[in-house]
Amino acid sequence: MAELTVYQKNKKFFCVPLDSSQLTIGRSSKNDLILTGDQVSRHHAVIEKMNTVFWLRDMSTAGTFLNDHKLVVPTQLQPGNTIAIADWQLVFASDSSVQAAETERKETQITKLTEELPGDTTQILKFEPDALFYKQLKPCLIIEDAKNGNRTCLVKKNRLVVGSAKNCDILLDDEFVSKYHAEFRLSDLGFHVVDLDSTNGTFVNNFKIKECYLKGGEKIELGNSRIVAVFEEGSSVTLDPFHDNHFCGIYAQSHSMRLLFSKIQKIAATDMTTLIVGETGSGKEMVARALHDLSDRRHKPYLVINCGAITTTLIESELFGHEKGAFTGADQRHLGAFEQANAGTVFLDEIGELPLELQSKLLRVLEYQTLRRVGGSQDIKINVRIIAATHRDLPSLVEHKAFREDLFYRLYVICLKLPPLRERKEDIPLLTKVFIDKCSPDKLLYLDQSSIEKLKNHSWPGNVRELKNTIMRAIAFCQSNIITASDIEFLLPHKGPAIEMAENADPATALPQTREEVMAPEALRAQEKSRIEGVLKTTNHDKTRAAKLLGMGRSTLFRKMKSLGIALDDTDKQE
């Protein structure tokens, strides 16, 4: 994505993404980019995007300069162009020119994680996405008080109020400092400094700010006092596997899963964006829920949006909301998921299915925690943690231009990878016991060795979800308190070497992948009829329980019974 890097007097302050059709620049608060100064007009200039080309147009009386030449007519921007407005410099970078910077950002990105420790000390962690260790950091504020000299304050909580009032977290004896002057918030982007409507203002590197993020080392001026935020790096600490095989409703005893539990525990208390990657049925939504339930946002809203289950025409409104009259049928204002979950968590399942045209809007939410409703003209500030999940290969989608590279890097702050069930078969006996206890609490059931071996030898393309459904069917078929291999039926065949090789072959020549493609229609109908009759007998013809055991809706069960010639009683015929 193209962007502007903003400088004043050769000091860099921030970057502005060019993710919409135009960007207005000026002194007025109605502009997209607000620049201060007497020589800046209220509406000074505009950058307009036409197809993939950006044009700069001057609207001021004092003039706009491009590469030291006064702009006379609208001019196409080239990578590296410098726009001068009063004492501001805006450096333009195109999509291709920021690609290398995005790659470097991914390689060097540091996620700072906060966790309260005994003794009221805040621990900050450097955590690489695939690492099995983390580094401890100590966030500190070096304070130069106008009257009391220098002192160092170890940050002990996520929010600190600085001012001259006695109940402030950091007290400054300075007549030019307001009672409640500024607030320092510790976040995954570093320190977030917010001016609390002080009389004399808050300055970062001599630039007056309302709020901004600090990466460390910047000089903050409040009245005659100065504060520098730093992170002191400590030693590396190995990440140990979680001590139990039960974690937030997830059961596993494999080393890889218990390491995952430890990662979740470490990162849950933060607001960082998290990407969960795993195959279908591997438990991505349960991991997302655990991240929310263990966070400080656990008592706030938790909303799940499946990006692949909502039509393209509706998903923008579902995520960002819409104003009354924004489109046909919009007879009232609608708050999207991000506003509904304000102060809480939004889980974006199947993020790889998000339409390309909406990815830039999501990027803006991630970068600036602001959104604009469909049909709206005002930016709305929000405070949400975003967790995303996918079973798709996002790097491949990026390579094929089906997923934005900048959005991928912004989501990949930290990545939790769920191993497929076939790679952790030592979890199968434990999971099987859990499912039996849940699905048949009134009947004592066991699996014999042959059934356990059959389960372990299966390739589990549907992962834990497939295992659960398989156990539910086995409970229905079992005629005693021992489940044998004959009671276990897979809806998808075991993937032997031939099928695994065929998965990488041309789809037109690939081997059959489903039971329906392998079996003759008559045999398939006979087997389905036998299975339904067996479940109905087990449930004493309780259709609701039978449908649940078969993994289908009640109406679907009735339709199949009629189609297969299974007798319906008089009550059933009335439904």
398 with 258, same domain: the answer is yes
- Identify whether 299 is part of a domain: yes
What gap in Å lies between CA 119 and CA 350, rounded to an integer? 41
Domain-terminating residue out of 378, 394, 416: 416
pLDDT digits (tens, 9 = 90+) for 21-44: 888 998 887 888 888 888 899 899
Question: What is the pLDDT, as a whole number, of residue 494?
Answer: 53
Residue 15: give its domain's CATH number.
2.60.200.20
What type of residue is 17?
Answer: P
Convert 458-479 to b/e letters by CB count within 10 Å (16 or more is b).
bbbbbbbbbbbbbbbbbbbbbe
Which of 230-244, 395-409, 484-498 shows the lowest per-residue confidence on average (mean pLDDT)?
A: 484-498
Domain coverage including residue 537: 522-564
* Number of domains observed in the structure of the chain: 5
- Identify whether 162 is part of a domain: yes
CB 113 within 8 A of CB 270: yes
The CA radius of gyration of the chain, in Å to the nearest whole number, is 29
What gap in Å lies between CA 267 and CA 414, rounded to an integer? 9
- Say whether pLDDT at 108 is over 50: no
Tell me what percent of the residues of the chain surpass a pLDDT of 90. 31
pLDDT band at 406 (very low <50, low <70, confident <90, very high): confident
- Identify whether 496 is part of a domain: no
145 with 71, same domain: the answer is no
Q: What is the mean pLDDT of residues 215-221?
A: 80
- Token pair of 445 as six digits: 């059931």
Looking at per-residue confidence, does 102 or 300 come out higher? 300
- Identify whether 541 is part of a domain: yes
- Say whether pLDDT at 260 is over 70: yes
Place of tokens 């004092």: 62
- Say whether pLDDT at 288 is over 90: yes
CB 98 within 8 A of CB 80: no
232 with 276, same domain: the answer is no
pLDDT band at 281 (very low <50, low <70, confident <90, very high): very high
The candidate with the shortest Cα–Cα distance to 277, out of 345, 338, 337, 352, is 352
What gap in Å lies between CA 78 and CA 82, rounded to an integer? 9
Residue 345: give its domain's CATH number.
3.40.50.300
Residues facing residue 269 across a β-bridge: none
226 with 170, same domain: the answer is yes
409 with 425, same domain: the answer is no
Looking at per-residue confidence, does 16 or 86 come out higher? 86
What gap in Å lies between CA 417 and CA 409, rounded to an integer? 16
352 with 435, same domain: the answer is no
What gap in Å lies between CA 143 and CA 120, rounded to an integer? 20
Q: What is the mean pLDDT of residues 80-98?
A: 80
- Identify whether 109 is part of a domain: no
231 with 251, same domain: the answer is no
Backbone angles phi, psi at 350, to 5 degrees: 55, 55
pLDDT band at 352 (very low <50, low <70, confident <90, very high): very high
Q: What is the mean pLDDT of residues 390-404?
A: 90
CB 261 within 8 A of CB 250: yes
pLDDT digits (tens, 9 = 90+) for 120-171: 444 445 555 455 555 566 788 899 876 777 888 888 777 899 999 999 999 9
Residue 453: give its domain's CATH number.
1.10.8.60
Question: What is the pLDDT, as a whole number, of residue 115?
Answer: 38
- Identify whether 488 is part of a domain: no
What gap in Å lies between CA 347 and CA 291, rounded to an integer? 10
pLDDT band at 3 (very low <50, low <70, confident <90, very high): confident
Helical H segments across 268-344, by residue range: 284-293, 312-320, 337-340
Which of 7-16, 195-204, 393-402 shows the lowest per-residue confidence on average (mean pLDDT)?
A: 7-16
Mean pLDDT for the chain overall: 80
- Say whether pLDDT at 529 is over 90: no
pLDDT band at 215 (very low <50, low <70, confident <90, very high): low
Q: Which positions ≥6 away from 522 have C-beta within 8 Å?
A: none
For the chain, the 3-state helix, strand and coil shares in percent, each to the nearest 5, are 30, 30, 40
H or E segment at 508? none
Q: Identify the sign of the CA torsion 165, 169, 172, 173.
A: positive
Question: What is the pLDDT, as a whole number, of residue 550?
Answer: 73
What gap in Å lies between CA 347 and CA 337, rounded to an integer? 10
Q: What is the mean pLDDT of residues 283-289?
A: 94
Question: What is the pLDDT, as a whole number, of residue 213?
Answer: 72
Tell me what percent of the residues of the chain surpass a pLDDT of 70. 82
- Say whether pLDDT at 523 is over 70: no
CB 137 within 8 A of CB 124: yes
pLDDT digits (tens, 9 = 90+) for 451-499: 999 999 999 999 999 999 999 888 888 888 889 888 898 876 555 433 3
Q: What is the mean pLDDT of residues 374-398?
A: 91
338 with 360, same domain: the answer is yes
Question: What is the DSSP code string of 76-117?
Answer: E--TT-EEEETTEEEEEE-HHHHHHHHHHHHHH---EEEEEE
Q: What is the mean pLDDT of residues 254-272?
A: 87
What gap in Å lies between CA 420 and CA 461, rounded to an integer? 8
Judged on CB neighbours under 10 Å (0-12, 13-18, 19+), 358 is: middle
pLDDT band at 504 (very low <50, low <70, confident <90, very high): very low
Question: What is the pLDDT, as a whole number, of residue 133?
Answer: 55
Q: How far apart, in Å, are the Cα atoms of 125 and each of 20, 104, 154, 183? A: 35, 20, 15, 22
CB 465 within 8 A of CB 281: yes
261 with 279, same domain: the answer is yes
Which of 59-63, 279-283, 487-491 shows the lowest per-residue confidence on average (mean pLDDT)?
A: 487-491
CB 323 within 8 A of CB 278: no
The candidate with the shortest Cα–Cα distance to 418, out of 252, 244, 242, 237, is 252
Question: What is the pLDDT, as a whole number, of residue 471?
Answer: 92
- Identify whether 511 is part of a domain: no
pLDDT band at 506 (very low <50, low <70, confident <90, very high): very low
- Identify whether 574 is part of a domain: no
CB 528 within 8 A of CB 561: no
CB 325 within 8 A of CB 375: yes
3-class state of residue 173 by DSSP: coil
Q: What is the mean pLDDT of residues 327-335?
A: 88
pLDDT band at 521 (very low <50, low <70, confident <90, very high): low
458 with 541, same domain: the answer is no
Question: What is the pLDDT, as a whole number, of residue 100?
Answer: 44
Domain-terminating residue out of 416, 436, 468: 416
Question: What is the pLDDT, as a whole number, of residue 492?
Answer: 62
What number of H helices and E strands is found in the chain?
Answer: 17, 35
383 with 270, same domain: the answer is yes
Domain-terminating residue out of 454, 483, 512: 483
Question: What is the pLDDT, as a whole number, of residue 114?
Answer: 37
Q: What is the mean pLDDT of residues 404-428?
A: 89
Task: Indicate the length of the chain as a whole number.
Answer: 575
CB 443 within 8 A of CB 412: no
70 with 149, same domain: the answer is no
Q: What is the mean pLDDT of residues 179-200?
A: 84
Question: What is the pLDDT, as a whole number, of residue 516?
Answer: 38
